[in-house]
């Protein structure tokens, strides 16, 4: 019997904007100057939100918080490609996605302060509440994509998760269903190199996370997750493909979590300063700023103006979040089951 190669797979890697602010014009997506400035302003707004949230947590005004510092391009670049009719299933570290899609900022502060009403998605936004359990949102997103396909809706479903999520059973079951039924779903993994304290190298023997998609019959693409243009382009194309009946795509955004896993973590106990500093030079906002400066889209005055707006928006959002009428403790018990159990009634009396 002859020996032959029956399958050969290649993982594409996309980078458009480098650390010096230069772009590969042949790959540059079609974005107007105003759209580029809008993306930059969303990056600044999201980073400002992140700084506010960290400070509020240190002051005891919100609870445990998961920083997005360093991952803004993966979030804003991908969310900027999403249309209003699409459906989004986030994990717990997608504040930049929420902000880009127009989610009220005060409700995000409200949620992180422990008030679940902050995740009551306003009418007109197709984004699910953030998912804290790792990877469990993958089957949910696949189910929504299957429903969309049955109904004939020309939409796509977007599912976010981290590198740790790719080692979960939910990930593999969801990918299998998406591949078998050729569903309109785009999976976006923010590979920030660390699943809490477990490095990427100890989590999987795969050379890339993107290549895992090929086992389920669809393409996996790796993209520079700190390059907002590359992320936007790849996600935009994947969404178009999904809506045209081309099935799912898995996008691995290679980025880095500059902060701790959450405010309950101390990353200095398991990673080196040199590693963090090496990634600091790849900052997503700095490289876009360089590009805009070279293309006459950025000035000192513009920077001061948008930083001031971002600060004002966050100041107002914090005021609104902290002025919302507090929930009564009974709310914790009322909506778990159709009616209160005897144990819940006793717990309420003892509270």
Please state, in angstroms and rounded to a whole number, the distance separating the CA atoms of residues 283 and 278: 10
CA dihedral of residues 332, 337, 338, 343 (deg, nearest 10): -80
Task: Give the C-alpha distances (Å, rounded to integers) separating 249 from 77, 165, 331.
Answer: 16, 16, 40
For 159, list phi and psi in degrees, rounded to 5.
Answer: -125, 120
Please state, in angstroms and rounded to a whole number, the distance separating the CA atoms of residues 238 and 156: 9
User: What residue has token string 């989590």?
Assistant: 203
Helix residue spans in the chain (DSSP H) = 33-58, 72-79, 95-100, 105-112, 137-151, 169-180, 200-203, 228-243, 273-280, 284-294, 300-323, 331-334, 342-350
Cβ-in-10-Å burial (0-12, 13-18, 19+) of 238 comes to buried
* Cβ density class 276-307: b for 16+ within 10 Å, e for less: beebeebbbbebbbbbbeeeebbeeeeeeebe
For 221, list phi and psi in degrees, rounded to 5.
Answer: -125, 140
Positions marked active-site: 257, 261, 270
Tokens, residue 307 = 């930083």
Contact 161, 150 (CB under 8 A): no
């Amino acid at each position: 019997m002859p020996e032959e190669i029956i399958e050969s797979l290649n993982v594409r890697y996309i980078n458009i904007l480098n650390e010096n602010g230069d772009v590969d014009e042949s790959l540059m997506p079609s974005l107007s100057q105003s759209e580029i400035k809008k993306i930059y302003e969303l990056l600044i707004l999201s980073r400002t939100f992140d700084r506010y949230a960290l400070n509020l947590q240190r002051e005891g005004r919100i609870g445990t918080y998961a920083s997005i510092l360093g991952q803004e391009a993966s979030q804003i670049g991908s969310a900027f490609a999403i249309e209003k009719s699409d459906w989004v299933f986030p994990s717990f570290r997608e504040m930049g996605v929420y902000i880009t899609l127009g989610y009220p900022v005060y409700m995000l502060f409200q949620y992180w302060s422990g008030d679940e009403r902050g995740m009551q998605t306003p009418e007109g936004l197709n984004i699910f509440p953030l998912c804290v359990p790792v990877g469990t949102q993958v089957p949910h997103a696949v189910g929504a994509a299957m429903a969309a396909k049955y109904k004939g809706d020309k939409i796509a479903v977007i599912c976010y998760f981290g590198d740790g999520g790719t080692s979960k059973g939910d990930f593999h079951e969801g990918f299998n269903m998406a591949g078998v039924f050729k569903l309109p779903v785009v999976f976006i993994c923010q590979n920030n190199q660390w699943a809490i304290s477990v490095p990427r190298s100890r989590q999987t023997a795969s050379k890339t996370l993107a290549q895992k998609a090929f086992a389920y019959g669809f393409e996996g693409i790796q993209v520079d997750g700190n390059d907002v243009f590359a992320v936007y382009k790849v996600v935009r194309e994947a969404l178009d493909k999904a809506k045209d009946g081309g099935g799912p795509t898995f996008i691995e955004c290679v980025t880095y979590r500059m902060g701790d896993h959450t405010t309950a973590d101390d990353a200095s106990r398991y990673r080196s300063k040199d590693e963090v500093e090496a990634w600091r030079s790849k900052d997503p906002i700095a490289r876009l700023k360089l590009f805009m400066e070279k293309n006459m889209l950025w000035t000192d005055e513009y920077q001061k103006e948008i930083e001031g707006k971002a600060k004002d928006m966050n100041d107002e959002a914090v005021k609104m979040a902290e002025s919302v009428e507090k929930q009564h403790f009974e709310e914790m018990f009322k909506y778990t089951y159709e009616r209160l159990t005897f144990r819940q009634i006793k717990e309420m009396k003892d509270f």
